[in-house]
Structure 1
Amino acid sequence: MTAKILLLFLVAAFATITLTEGKRNVVCYYGSWAVYRPGDGKFDVEDIDPFVCTHLIFGFAGLKEYDNSIYALDPYNELYENWGRGAYERFTGLKKINPELVTILAIGGWNEGSVKYSKMASTAEGRRQFIDSVVPFLLRYGFDGLDMDWEYPTQRGGVAEDRDNFISLLRELKAAFAPEGLVLTAAVSAGEQTIDEAYEIPIVSELLDMINLMTYDYHGAWETITGHNAPMYAHPLDDGNVTNFNVNFSLNHWLTNGADPAKIQLGMGFYGRGWSLNNIEDNGPYAPANQPIQAGPYTRQAGIWGYNEVCEQFLADPAGWTVVRDEYYQSPYAYNGRNWIGYDDMESLTKKMELIIIALHI
């Protein structure tokens, strides 16, 4: 498998499986910043195989705080204006190769924060300004819909009223999208407390065409002990609310609280999170680790490696790495000296697809 193909999976935040009108959907997020990665890590729109995913989501657009309008976060890369590279239209142009492909623009993401989305959604006028900018923006660049990636209502500087205001925003977006046949989806939290505070699940489910569940980032280098990025089940060492930091709990929490099974997309991250161990002899789950793993050559961020970077590390030192398939994580972690990384591979992703097939009865 080439580095380019591997990176397709790296830049997809979700590769999910659900059933809509008898067909299984695979929804993939494309992180547009991958175009700036060096060497084999560089990944542009034309590197996407338009037949791998049924839905492609371009991440991300932003929100202008002063007038509540949508805008291109990287106009040089995303627009043709001012001699730009036109990634938006090249992305939606993939439908010329695969006419069945659905292309969606995501707005928000972690770096955009929550505060300005909270302010926009707090008034009818703010929501109207936003929606009046979104519809022509999507149509201008050929997108089939919007993915609302507000992370998260009521959180990170938001207010309690966000829960109701998020519903108002989705309802008004849905009404405005209907005449144009546009799709409305959202990326939503997998954390129990955030879910309960942020979302009126039955109404959110009714209003959205797809619910993209972010079942990853449960553990990472913001903690000082090792833990898997996306564990399938609770680990015996889990304590307190950490017992709910796993894919199985998050999926069932959404379902038992009123999410339509046909709309749930189970998120699968094609990257790992890792640490530098304090003691190389203590190398299992919950091992003390006060520092993140060193940055990889492509993602260039301490504490995280793309799956392609994991594979390259293994190939460079096959005898040095020990891979463990934890019976509770149902996903591998590996260590080599002080390096510790928890990630997903083909075997663990297959298990997660089996989980959602059973849970959603598809």
Structure 2
Amino acid sequence: MGNFTATLHAKNPSAKAFLSVGGAHARPDPFSNMEGNSDNRAAFIKSSIDVARRYGFDGLDLDWESPNNQQDMSNLAVFFREWRTSDNKESLAYGRPRILLSAAVYFASKFFLADVPWTYPGDAMKEYVDFVNPMCYDYRGSWDTTVTGSPALLYDNASNISTSYSISSWIEDGVPSKKLVMGMPMYGKTWQLKDPNVHGIGAPANGTGPGNGGIMSYDDIVAFNLANGANVVYDNDTVSTYSYAGTNWIGYDDPTSIRNKVKYAKDQGLGGYFFWALGTDRNWTLARAASLAWDGST
């Protein structure tokens, strides 16, 4: 890990290196047990800061994607406060810049699809976290194989499951726009159309399409589209893209939708954007489109 951080720091301009703890496949209970107990919190906080310093990381990211209830959210507020306090003390004690703290979170500030909704501690995140990373994707997928869908659309007139709602919910919950970093996917979701002649967003489907469990990386999507002579459609109403070839249907982001989403993020005064994950791009196509849009070059 030391070589990784040294390589990033050697870039011109220098890049910041973050160590993320957790992830989509991390079980929720260990996080819940850690944050609900003061001794466990203290041990985790000390260990995370020690590891960050040992390997030259500039920041730490908590990627707890599935808090279970409102009690977990209350404990999360306490954790963020103690994490920041310990970070500040360590920085002053050794006379070095403090470690940046961030959190990868559900797309919206409230788990409003749960039977009993629970809400992130927006005030604590505003006070103690340097930035918040809403994961603005996976809105549609293999859990509903009856209709096609845009997995990371910016706008949805029929529901609150969209990136525009995501960002507005966090701001309303007290997190400043400049602390929000909008997540975008470098992969798409696939379906099998019931009728190849009915192929819009929301078209009837009868299962997942190509890819691994109905998921395809952007690199693979481009290759699939070329190999199959797919029709590619940019949908301006949702700011998303889809392609279809025969009964195969793929919802994803292409350079056009990425540019418009990044322009939206900039117009909203957000702190930035992130991708999951750069390794699945096609010759830096999406990354370049986003960078140019953020700089105002396109």
Q: Report TM bin, short chain.
A: 0.7 to 0.9
1:347 corresponds to: 256
Matched, 1:316 2:230: no
1:92 corresponds to: 5
Question: In the TM superposition, what whole-angstrom CA distance separates every residue of 1:246-281 from its partner, at most 9, and x where no partner exists?
Answer: 111111111122111111111111111111223222
Contact 2:110 / 2:120 at 8 angstroms: preserved in 1? Answer: no
Question: In the TM superposition, what whole-angstrom CA distance separates every residue of 1:47-82 from its partner, at most 9, and x where no partner exists?
Answer: xxxxxxxxxxxxxxxxxxxxxxxxxxxxxxxxxxxx
What letter matches 2:5 in structure 1? T
Matched, 1:268 2:147: no
Change in Cα spacing, 1:192 to 1:204, as seen in structure 2 (3 Å) is: closer
Matched, 1:124 2:124: no
Change in Cα spacing, 1:93 to 1:150, as seen in structure 2 (3 Å) is: same
2:24 corresponds to: 110
Instruction: Give the deviation of 1:202 after TM superposition.
Output: 2.2
Q: 1:171 aligns with which of 81, 84, 97?
A: 81
Change in Cα spacing, 1:232 to 1:99, as seen in structure 2 (3 Å) is: closer
- Matched residue of 1:194: which SS? coil
Matches within 5 A, 1:143-292: 143-153=57-67, 158-178=68-88, 179-180=90-91, 181-191=98-108, 193-194=110-111, 197-224=118-145, 225-235=147-157, 238=158, 243-292=159-208
What letter matches 2:261 in structure 1? K
Change in Cα spacing, 1:99 to 1:357, as seen in structure 2 (3 Å) is: closer
Q: Percent identity?
A: 33
What letter matches 1:289 in structure 2? A
For residues 131 and 225 of structure 2, the distance between their equivalents in structure 1, rounded to whole angstroms, comes to: 36
1:325 corresponds to: 234
Instruction: Give the deviation of 1:361 after TM superposition.
Output: 7.7
Residues matched between the structures, number: 258
For residues 361 and 187 of structure 1, the distance between their equivalents in structure 2, rounded to whole angstroms, comes to: 15
Instruction: Give the deviation of 1:148 after TM superposition.
Output: 0.6
2:294 corresponds to: none
Question: In the TM superposition, what whole-angstrom CA distance separates every residue of 1:4-45 from its partner, at most 9, and x where no partner exists?
Answer: xxxxxxxxxxxxxxxxxxxxxxxxxxxxxxxxxxxxxxxxxx
What letter matches 2:131 in structure 1? M
The alignment's TM-score, normalised by the length of structure 1, stands at: 0.67
The alignment's TM-score, normalised by the length of structure 2, stands at: 0.81
Structure 2: tracts of 5 or more residues without a match: 92-97, 272-298
Question: In the TM superposition, what whole-angstrom CA distance separates every residue of 1:198-244 from its partner, at most 9, and x where no partner exists?
Answer: 41212212211011111111111211221101111114xx3xxxx00
RMSD: 1.8
Structure 1: tracts of 5 or more residues without a match: 1-87, 296-300
Q: 1:134 aligns with which of 34, 48, 54?
A: 48
Instruction: Give the deviation of 1:98 after TM superposition.
Output: 3.7
Instruction: Give the deviation of 1:322 after TM superposition.
Output: 1.3
Question: Does 103-112 or 286-295 show the bigger shift?
Answer: 286-295
